[in-house]
């Protein structure tokens, strides 16, 4: 019994030491000129998402001149659920409302937002035309400041 109390911790120290030396050696080999790996591999430094510059440009299926306005999540501008869109998602930056395009349609307004993709997730009042787009903004002040603009809307095909 006395012998096992002294041997188990010693065995544990030896195992941890061997593992530590193994990983130290692996990193030393990885950093050396003669190793085939030039730098230690770290999952924190790897990105599995391609940078935007390497992604192919989306195809534009149609261009339409539209009137662009803005709205916010205030009761006087929406229905009784101001933070939920007509497609049943929470409002967030990058959504637009339009009556003529199906939910999930991705669009761009290059004169206003550059290459940023926006997605149709909301609807406007039924009396609004199909060539009007309403962009969601976080505050009523921003929506008022946005005003009314005319731009070419590019419908992005998937």
Residue 119: the pLDDT is 93
| Confidence (pLDDT) at 135 | 93
> Residue 130 in 3-state DSSP?
coil
Identify the domain containing residue 142 by its residue range. 52-157
Please say whether the dihedral angle defined by the alpha carbons of residues 55, 61, 66 and 70, taken in this order, is positive or negative: negative
Among the three residues 46, 61, 80, which one is the final residue of a domain in this structure?
Answer: 46
Same-domain status, 21 and 96 = no
Written as six digits, the tokens of 16 are 């941890």
d(CA 158, CA 139): 31
For residues 8 and 34, membership in a common domain is answered with yes
Question: For residue 24, what pLDDT is reported?
Answer: 60
Q: Are residues 143 and 78 in the same domain?
A: yes
- Residue 34: per-residue pLDDT: 46
Domain shared by 28 and 66, yes or no: no
Q: How many domains does the chain have?
A: 2
Res 19: pLDDT: 76
| Whole-number pLDDT of residue 32 | 47
What is the mean pLDDT for each group of 10 consecutive residues in the chain (158 residues)? 67 76 57 45 47 65 90 79 84 90 92 92 83 90 92 87
Quote the pLDDT of residue 125: 79
Q: Domain with 132 in it: what CATH number?
A: 2.40.40.10
């Amino acid at each position: 019994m006395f012998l096992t109390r002294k041997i188990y911790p010693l065995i544990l120290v030896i195992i941890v030491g061997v593992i530590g030396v193994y990983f130290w050696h692996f990193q030393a080999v990885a950093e050396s000129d003669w190793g085939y790996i030039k730098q230690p591999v770290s999952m924190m430094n790897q990105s599995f998402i391609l940078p935007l510059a390497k992604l192919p440009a989306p195809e534009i299926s149609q261009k339409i001149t539209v009137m662009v306005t803005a709205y916010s999540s205030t009761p006087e501008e929406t229905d009784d659920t101001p933070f939920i869109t007509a497609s049943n998602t929470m409002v967030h930056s990058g959504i637009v409302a339009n009556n003529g395009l199906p939910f999930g349609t991705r669009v761009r307004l290059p004169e206003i937002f550059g290459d940023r993709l926006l997605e149709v997730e909301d609807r406007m009042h039924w009396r609004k035309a199909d060539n009007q787009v309403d962009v969601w903004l976080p505050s009523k002040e921003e929506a008022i400041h946005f005003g009314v603009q005319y731009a070419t809307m590019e419908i992005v095909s998937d």
